[in-house]
Amino acid sequence: MGTRLVALLTAAMFSWIGLPAEAQTLGQVFKRVSASVVVVRTREQEVAARGQGQTVNISGVGSGVLISADGKVMTAAHLVHTADEISAEFLDGEIVGARVIASEPEADVSLLQLERMPPRAVVAKLGDSDRVDVGDQVFIVGAPYGIGHTLSAGHISARHKPNTVYSGFSLAEFLQTGAAINQGNSGGPMFSMAGEVIGIVSHIISKSGGFEGLGFVVTSNMARRLLLERKSFWTGMEGYVLTGDLAKVFNLPQPVGLLVQRVAERSQAALIGLRPGTMKATIDGRMLTVGGDIILAVQGIPIEDQSSYERIQERLSRLHPGVEVTITVLREGGQVELRGPLP
């Protein structure tokens, strides 16, 4: 009787607490999440290397991940921020048009909205990157060199706070990984072994041009905060900061300005009337697209340093859609004020 009672109590206890789920292999997790990954293809116009005003069509390829049932896709800003046309190709070959609805180039993350939701699309779960530790196994799914839904596995090598790795992405919190990253992986998801998205692939550091074990992925929590939890805007403009001797070369009336390089079609920057550069020039060893507007101030806040960028973002985030925004630019030697509604 006593032995039978112990057995019953033991069975009841395990049914209450639940037995741990059997761990899935890497292959099993990959099969479960692969359909949430898309190949992102872009087209944009770029000023030709020779000839003022001449442009050429540039095609781009990268990756992204579907994160919501209403068709939102996370990807890398450097892939889509100035694109004129964007499409997302799913695992079954279906291609859907997309547009940028939020973008943060300083963190290299953007959010796309699909024109329609494919009926067999799989939505990935956005995980908590703060729970990731150095040494954890991870894997990346993307389209290296356009070869879709390719897996590469590795581990978390390090965690980096914003503005400690690459000044071009000063807002990005990075996870460093040894999982292989190549051209075409940009914007793709990095998954935990639980099948949750814990990062968006950004860039590599390489002397050879190929992968050398130094890959950097924007954390999912940073992407969530910048694209989903706060008001983020898509300007569709690429700029280059002019400071020091470069500011003097361009005869700026202030120490710092933002030289407009590209403007995407139908973007907010295009609607407000910002003019992109019209010809290539090498100045102080830098290849720049010159001849376009130089932004001096936004909403009366002068372009000075990183803090001014943050003040502008904070000011705009408090405005309601449709409110008029003023941008002061240097154009053909004179200052011009451009006005347009906030999206």
Are 247 and 256 contacting, i.e. CB atoms less than 8 angstroms apart?
Answer: yes
Rg (CA), the chain: 23
3-class state of residue 172 by DSSP? coil
Cα-based distances in Å from 26 to 12, 104, 176, 307: 33, 32, 20, 43
pLDDT at position 22: 58
DSSP per-residue codes, 115-155? SS--TT--PPEE--GGG--TT-EEEEEE-GGG--SEEEEEE
3-state helix, strand, coil in the chain (%, to 5): 20, 40, 40
Instruction: Using the predicted structure, report yes or no on whether residue 157 has a pLDDT greater than 60.
Output: yes
Give how many domains the chain has, as a whole number.
3
Same domain, 331 and 242: yes
Q: Considering the candidates 63, 110, 152, 186, report the single residue annotated as catalytic.
A: 186
The Cα 64–Cα 296 span in angstroms is 34
Same domain, 245 and 334: yes
Same domain, 109 and 129: no
3-class state of residue 238 by DSSP? strand
In the numeric block, which tokens belong to residue 54? 């001449």
Single-letter amino acid, residue 339: R
Exposed (0-12), middle (13-18) or buried (19+): which is 183, by Cβ within 10 Å? Answer: middle
In a domain, 7, yes or no: no
* DSSP β-ladder status, 294-298 and 257-263: antiparallel
Rounded to the nearest 5°, which phi and psi values hold at 177?
-140, 155
Same domain, 91 and 147: no
Domain boundary among 179, 206, 229: 229
In a domain, 277, yes or no: yes
In a domain, 19, yes or no: no
pTM of the prediction? Answer: 0.88
Q: Which of 197, 255, 253 is nearest to 221 (CA)?
A: 197
In this structure, the number of other CB atoms found within 10 A of the CB of residue 42 comes to: 21
The Cα 237–Cα 83 span in angstroms is 10
Cα-based distances in Å from 257 to 41, 82, 236, 260: 32, 20, 18, 10
* DSSP β-ladder status, 150-160 and 125-126: unpaired
Are 70 and 114 contacting, i.e. CB atoms less than 8 angstroms apart?
Answer: no
Domain hosting 73: range is 35-114
For residue 200, the domain's CATH number is 2.40.10.10
pLDDT in tens, 226-271: 999 988 889 999 999 999 999 999 999 999 999 999 999 999 999 9
The mean-pLDDT minimum among 174-183, 203-212, 244-253 falls in: 203-212
pLDDT in tens, 319-335: 888 899 999 999 999 99
Same domain, 178 and 154: yes
Q: Considering the candidates 108, 149, 203, 267, report the single residue annotated as catalytic.
A: 108
Rounded to the nearest 5°, which phi and psi values hold at 283?
-125, 120
Domain boundary among 82, 114, 146: 114
In a domain, 30, yes or no: no
In a domain, 16, yes or no: no
Helices (H), the chain: 2-17, 26-33, 77-80, 220-224, 245-249, 268-272, 306-317
pLDDT in tens, 107-149: 999 999 999 999 989 999 999 999 999 999 999 999 999 999 9
pLDDT at position 21: 44
Domain boundary among 114, 144, 170: 114
Q: Considering the candidates 36, 78, 152, 267, report the single residue annotated as catalytic.
A: 78
In a domain, 8, yes or no: no
pLDDT at position 16: 36
Are 181 and 211 contacting, i.e. CB atoms less than 8 angstroms apart?
Answer: yes
Note the Cα 218 to chain centre separation in Å.
Answer: 8
Single-letter amino acid, residue 168: G
User: Is 186 one of the catalytic residues?
Assistant: yes
Same domain, 242 and 219: no
